[in-house]
Every structure is written in structure tokens, then in C-alpha cells.
Structure 1
Amino acid sequence: MPLLSALLQPDDLDAALSTPDGAFSRHDLLGWAASVAADLDGAPIVAVRAAPGAATVAAIAGALLAGVPIVPVPPDAGRLEREHMLKDSGAALLLSDDPEAAGESALPVVRVSRRARATTLPAEPADGAPALVLYTSGTTGAPKGVVISRAAIAADLDALAEAWQWTPADTLVHGLPLYHVHGLVLGALGPLRLGGRLTHTGRPTPEAYAESAGTMYFGVPTVWSRIAARPDAARRLSAARLLVSGSAPLPGPVFHTLRELTGQAPVERYGMTETLITVSARADGDRRAGQVGRPLAGITTRIVDDQGAAVPNDGVTIGHLQVQGPTLFDGYLRGGSIQSWGEGWYPTGDVATIAPDGWHRIVGRASTDLIKTGGYRVGAGEVEDVLLLHPAVRECAVVGLPDPDLGERITAFVVGDAVAEAELIGFVAERLAAHKRPRQVVRVPELPRNAMGKVQKGRLRAEGQGAATASSPSAKVRRQFT
């Protein structure tokens, strides 16, 4: 089956794609994408300035029709980041409507927006051919190009269609960036493969979501938190059948508020750039706060200890999460060639618990969210969930900072109303084991986040550690962040 099979269907929706730029029928979008595909003939790989809007959807669809791998470049990428992506990927062309693109890049620039529409389609590329190169930042070094095949995308979208009962009758609404898995693979390519309508709101604001009628809404926790804080907007989503949250853990209070205001709990799912989406709650099943469901069709998961030995699926024991299945990436792009990651079980770098019924709870990144303190292993997410129950706490992030006695000191960075440090520490100690309580609470005006709303805990750790080493741990850190 062609990767963009729904786009190739003969039936024509009046508004298969709606954006702030306008509404486009399926026939018009296909002709537009085919015209772009004709311009890419012979190119080994291309890049696109992935601004939110119809042009980015048409450009990426055109590259996929042509069988040319495409690199989505964030529109707000800094000069060095953009230059790295273009040089490292070996892109031969840059697709962009930005009038300044030619001056910012040494590559030939192909304008995406056009009146021309083509009627001839290239032959469908092989399933295993590379489709996307998504750049993702690791803990060290420059961003790495993750090569994702057409087969992996197809397998993931088909598995999600089963889990979420996604059909051509659905209208998907979101305003997420078009250069990540959530907004691009699920949010744009999903409707082009599975059918239905897509409304991209440009920006994921509560007002934009409330004004767009849909059966499915995609958002990251920051989006859902803002919608939950606007009861009038949240209630207007009550007619939808699915509210999907991903890319970061959804705070428990937001989960419960959305359920109260919309009449349904959000569906949470788990994945990463290298694996696409691998675990999710089901449309017709349970939805549990703080948990992301069971593996999708074709996906197998396990958790192991530091030595690689399996740990029990008892819902309590924390282990390193590993996955295998058809949605995994091919490898990282290095020097114009794909360096395979290996085979078998892929180590996600996340730590999790798995319950006897298969439900997964993601504790977080092993490097930042698994805190080893006083001989205990503590998941940062568990402490964060309890802190968010306190009425004075609006947002929080828990990390482990180096400590000469404990190994790591549980430190909570909190956004909210003024409250005594001792009160919050005691609040956690009353609800969790004593060794899980924060040893330090730092009030901050905001938490550092990336474009997808994920808290950048590495920055908190680095800045907190740097401030703490300058003088006393508590006084200096507090001055640094308030």
C-alpha cells in the first residue's frame, strides 16, 4: 500500500487540509505535492524550512511522492544549527517560501508555494527506502540525523489507527510543529495515509483549538495545561472522541481537570524520534493518569537492570526500557551514509515500570530522571506528581544534584505561589517514602522548555550544580533562579 495512500484516493474532500493559509482539497493538495515532486527529480536528499502551514505539508508530501528523503528544519533554528543540519545531511536543495532563504543558505532554493499543479505521479518508492531525516539533540554534541524509513512510518500509523480507531471519518486538529514526530509523522502524515481531514491551527492556543471542530486533538502537556486553565475553551472540545497527549509526561492535575471539563480523560502515549510511537492507551480502553498504556501492535518492550538482566513487571520496580519492532529507525546519518544502530532490543535511554497487565509508566530519562540517592533509586516523576498536588505548585521539575553524602540530592524546582521550603518537603514526605522527599526546593519564575514543551532538565542540573558549587548549596541556587 502506498505510504500516502489516502492522499491518492480519487474521492475529493472540499477541505482535506485547513490552515491559516487557507483550505485545500485533496485533489489540489495532491497536484501541489506532485508539482513539488517533479522539481526534486534526481536529488539525493532535500531540506525544507518547516514553518507551520500548508506549504510545509505540500513540500514533505512532494518529497515522499518523489522518494527523496527530506530534512525538516525548524523555522526558528539558529544559524549554526541550520548550517549543521544542511551540511551534515548533504541536502542538495532547500524548499522554502522565506524570501531571505537564498541569502541564509548556500543551497539552491526551491519555492514551495505556486500556482502550478501536476497530474503525473512518480512510481511508488520501495517500502524500505528512507523517508525522513529528523534531527534530534542528545546530551552531548551536535544534533544527530535520525533516518526513518517509509516502512517504519507506515507500520506506526497503521498501529495507531488500530489503537485509536482512527478512520477517514475523523477530523484531526492540532497546531504542533511540523518538524517532530508528533506534529509531522502523526499530525500531518497520519491523515495523508489514513484519511480524514486535518486542521492545523498555526499555533496551539486554547482559542484556536476551541474554534476548530474536530474529532481528534493532538497536544503536548504545555498545550493541555493551558487549555485546562481555560474552562470555556476546554468544554468546547467535549464533542471530540479523542484528546491525545504526548512528547512529555502529562501532569496528573491536568489529566483530571481535562476529564472533568471535557467528559473524557486524555489518551497518553510514548515514543521517541528513533522509535516513533511504541506504547499507547487505547481509544476503547482505560486511560490512567501518569501511565502511557500498552505496546502497539507489532511492538515488544521490556525493562532491565543496569547489568541488562530482566526486572519484574510488577508496576513498582524501575528498569531501563528497551523496545523492538517495525517502527524503529534505520540509524544515524553520518558523513552522507547511514550508520546502523544495531539490531534486536533498542535501548531508549528511558526508565519505566511495567505493571502485570502491561501498562507502562515512564519514569523519565535515565540520565536525568532516575535519581540515585542514599542507596535508593527514585523516579523524578513520582516526586513531581506529588508536588503538583500542592495548591501552591503550578509547575515543577525534580532532578538529582551531586551530593557528597547521598550521591545525589533530590532537588525540586517549583513554579508557583510563595510557600515555605519545609512545607513542600513535608508534603512529599507525608505521601511518599521518606527517602523520596526533596532535600531542597528552589522557586523559579519558569521552567526552561524546548519547542515541544519538554522541560530541559539538563539546564536545571548544570545551572543548579554551577550555582551550588559557588557557595552554599541552598542559598546560591536560590539566588540563581529567583
Structure 2
Amino acid sequence: MYARLIQGYQAMDPEQQALSAYAAQQLRLMMSGSSALPQPVMHAWETITGHCLLERYGMTEFVMAISNPLRGARKAGTVGKPFPGVQVRIAEDKSGGGTIGEGELCVKSPSLFKEYWKLPQVTKESFTDDGFFKTGDACRVDEDGYYVILGRTSADIMKVGGYKLSALEIESVLLQHPDIAECCVFGLPDKDYGEAVSAIVVLDSEQKGKQEESNSAFSLEELCNWAKDKLAPYKLAR
């Protein structure tokens, strides 16, 4: 949502931008929590509105469980720390290929739901034996104890040549490119690596106009050359 709002802001004339920024500055609090928030989006929104978005983590099954502080420093790229009374743990993948300290986020909370209506087998499969709910989200904890959501274990985690890679992590880096407005990273079948890192990018309107005028295209080689100092070689799109 915030990425779209930023695009709308960039399409406005200076007077409209000033009015929109002023209106946004009057709001008391702005939050993000439905999906991982790319750091470039967070920083751009703060530049426009003065608001440092409050990023937190929750699901329908337990509402909110982890949050950056309402008052105090908020750490971009993370969803913060568990609320009081909430227990969380990371179930590491024992099959190999994963990174130590990364795995599926499991939650036990006073607000945790009881069951999926009339779906006893699904309910059973969604809980550990000691009552933790398996969120299906991969995560890790950083050096400050803040939780970083890496994506859905079923969709956003790619298995590339023995490595398990987060599509969201790679997207966050690509969005730092000054000419990229949106991007989507995913894995495509590859006979040598199992999956190959692939990306679809949308250029910002100004850069798109320049490309059309010069009759040139934004190339994969150009993108990889830019990203090689920011991503490990096995995380680069092929």
C-alpha cells in the first residue's frame, strides 16, 4: 500500500505534493503489518511525511504478536520484538540447506485461536505438541533481538543450489536501485540448481520515459553489476 501511495505522490505536481504531505503529517500514527515492508519504502515514506512507520507482525489466528516500539527507536527491516505474554520460537529446518538461526516462526499467545472451524486435521497440523502455532512464515532474529520476516515458507523461500534464499530479502535490495519502482523475486525451475533466482522489475516513470526515448532496455547484466556488491553471487538473478 505505501509503495502505491509513494507512486501517487510522485505523480503529483509540487502544490499537490505539499498539501498531501501536510495532511499526512497530521495523523498521529501510521502502521504496517500485513506483509514485510521494504526498507526503501519505509525511508521514502518518512522523507515525505515525517512518519517512521510502526512495523509489527500479526495474523488472523492471534492478532498481533511482535512489534517495534510505539515510543522509542524503530528498526527498519524488522517487525520488532514479542509483546509481553507472547512466546515465540524458531523451528529450524533440519533437512539441510538452511541457515542457522533461521526457520519457521512459531507463536504461543493469550490471544491465540482455538481451532479452524470444522477442520480438525488442519488444526492438528498447525500446532506443535506443546501448543505453539506454526505460522508458515520464515524468520530470523538479528543481533539486537529484533525479528526479521523472510517470507512464507511455502512461497517466498527459494531452494537454489543447496541454499535456501528469501525472495523478500532480495526484493528489498533491488528496490534500493534508483530506477526501480517495484519488483517481484521468485524461483523458476532449473535443472542444475533446482531453482534459479528470477525477478520482474517495474521502472519508475521517469526512467521508463528515458528508456523509451533512447530505445534501450534495462538489462539483467546492468542489474547484476549494480547488485553484485550488495548480494552474494548465489542470490543474483539469472
Q: Which has the larger radius of gyration?
A: 1
1:328 matched to 2:115? The reply is no
2:140 to 353, 358, 363: 353
Q: Over aligned residue pairs, what C-alpha RMSD do you find?
A: 2.6
Corresponding residue to 2:220 among 421, 429, 445 = 421
- Deviation at residue 234 of structure 1 after TM alignment: 2.9
Alpha-carbon spacing, 1:228–1:323, altered in 2? closer, same or farther (3 Å): farther
Contact 2:104 2:138 (C-alpha < 8 Å) held by counterparts = yes
Cα pair distance change 1:223/1:272, threshold 3 Å: farther
Higher relative contact order (CA 8 A, sep 6+): 2
Aligned residues: 214
Alignment correspondent of 2:214? none
Within the alignment, does 1:431 sit opposite 2:218 as a pair? no
Shift of 1:357: 2.8
Residue 300 to residue 227, structure 1, CA distance change in 2 (3 Å) = farther
User: In structure 2, the residue corresponding to 1:427 is in which secondary structure?
Assistant: helix
C-alpha separation in 2, matches of 1:289 and 1:297: 21
After TM superposition, the structure 1 = structure 2 runs for residues 50-449 of structure 1, keeping only pairs within 5 Å, are 220-222=1-3, 224-226=5-7, 229=10, 231-232=17-18, 233-307=20-94, 317-334=101-118, 341-342=126-127, 344-416=131-203, 417=208, 418-439=217-238
- Structure 2 CA distance for aligned equivalents of residues 436 and 295 of structure 1: 30
Measured at CA, do residues 432 and 262 of structure 1 come closer, stay the same or move farther in structure 2, by a change above 3 Å? same
- Tell me if the contact between 2:2 and 2:45 (Cα under 8 Å) persists in the aligned partners: no
**Alpha carbons 1:280, 1:296 under 8 Å: kept:** yes
**Contact 1:269–1:277 at 8 Å: present in 2 too?**
yes
Write the distance in 2 (CA, Å) between the matches of 1:228 and 1:252. 18
**Structure 1 letter corresponding to 2:219:** A
**Residue type matched to 2:218 in 1?**
V
Q: Is the 8 A contact 2:90 2:101 kept in 1?
A: no
- Cα deviation for residue 320 of structure 1 reads 1.4
Could you tell me the TM-score, scaled by structure 1's length? 0.41
Superposition TM-score, scaled by structure 2 size? 0.80
| CA positional deviation for 1:335 | 7.3
**Offset from partner CA, 1:333-381 (integer Å, 9 cap, x none):** 1279x95654521111111111243211101001121112112221111
Displaced runs of 4 or more, over 6 A = none
CA distance in 2, matches of 1:397, 1:372: 17
Tell me the equivalent position of 1:30. none
Report the Cα distance in structure 2 between the residues aligned to 1:294 and 1:249, rounded to whole angstroms.
Answer: 15
